[in-house]
A = this chain, B = another copy of it.
Amino acid sequence: MAGMSHPSDARSAGSESGWLRTVADEVRSFDRSSTAERVAELLRHRVIEGDLPPGTRLSEEQLVEVLHVSRNTLREAFRLLTHEGLLVHHLHRGVFVPELDEDDLVDLYRVRRTIECDVVRRLEGLDAARMRPLHDDVAAGEDAARRGDWVAVGTANMRFHQHLVALAGSRRLDETAARLLAELRLAFHTVATPQRLHEPYVSRNRGLLDLLAAGEWERAAKELEDYLHDSEAELLSAHRDRSRSTP
């Protein structure tokens, strides 16, 4: 997300070979990050990993002290994360790790169904090489499940869906999906039953992948639709359980 290339960049290198293009991108992502972006990257991980529970306020004063950056730079990092949905900003009150409510969860899954199912339904002429990341993610999920590492299962699952959307080859769909999945991760951290939430989808991911490999895109889309409905129901249920215990 930080190293998004730009339209005019693409054009300016358009006449050169793909070889140079790749090098250019590497150089760009190497040193081409502002202080604010590095701070954002740091906080992004903290939030996504669940170190900062939803509802937490991020104090400018404290973070300036700890990170050794100026308030202005820190605030710029806040803005970046706010627009990714990983922080929310209340005027004159500060930035907080968002607390998603049930409406948000329903909304997130609504958009996921729209995007992911459509991507699958429109697939055509997919060669095996482009499915490689999906295979790796499914394998990683199965491996983590055997170890009982449900957090890792959740991570592999997120990556699977991100790579699924990437099959469409659309920059904007990728960005949207990244944001949705990051927000969803926030919700996963608020519930205390990672196994119940992730275990069923290890095998369903495998099933989905088989359908894709077989070129059964319409059936895959239908299965994905049900899959996401089930996942939504599970998450909502878990969320309600937690809400009842902490009113």
Interface on A for B, CB 8 Å cutoff?
6-8, 10-11, 32, 34, 72, 75-76, 79-80, 83, 88, 90-91, 96, 98-101, 103-104, 107-108, 110-111, 114-115, 117-119, 168, 170-173, 176, 180
Contacts and interface: CB of A to CB of B under 8 A. Distances in A.
12 contacts: A6-B88, A7-B103, A7-B104, A8-B88, A8-B101, A34-B91, A107-B172, A110-B168, A114-B114, A114-B118, A114-B173, A117-B118
Contact of A88 (B7, B98, B104, B114): B7
Contacts of A170: 107, 110-111
A76 B36 CA distance: 12
Contacts of A96: 8
B118 A171 contact: no
Given A72-B72, A111-B170, 6 more contacts: A7-B99, A8-B99, A79-B80, A108-B172, A110-B172, A114-B118
Contacts of A98: 6-8
Closest 5 CB pairs of A and B: A83-B83, A114-B118, A79-B79, A111-B172, A110-B170
A114 B72 CA distance: 38
A108 to B, nearest CB: 7
Nearest to A36: B79
Contacts of A76: 75-76, 79
A106 B93 CA distance: 41
Contacts of A171: 107
A103 B10 CA distance: 9
Contact of A176 (B10, B88, B117, B176): B176
A240 to B, nearest CB: 14
A91 B72 CA distance: 17
Contacts of A110: 168, 170, 172-173
Contact of A173 (B8, B111, B118): B111
Nearest to A31: B91
A115 B176 CA distance: 12
A165 to B, nearest CB: 10
Contacts of A88: 6-8
B7 A101 contact: yes
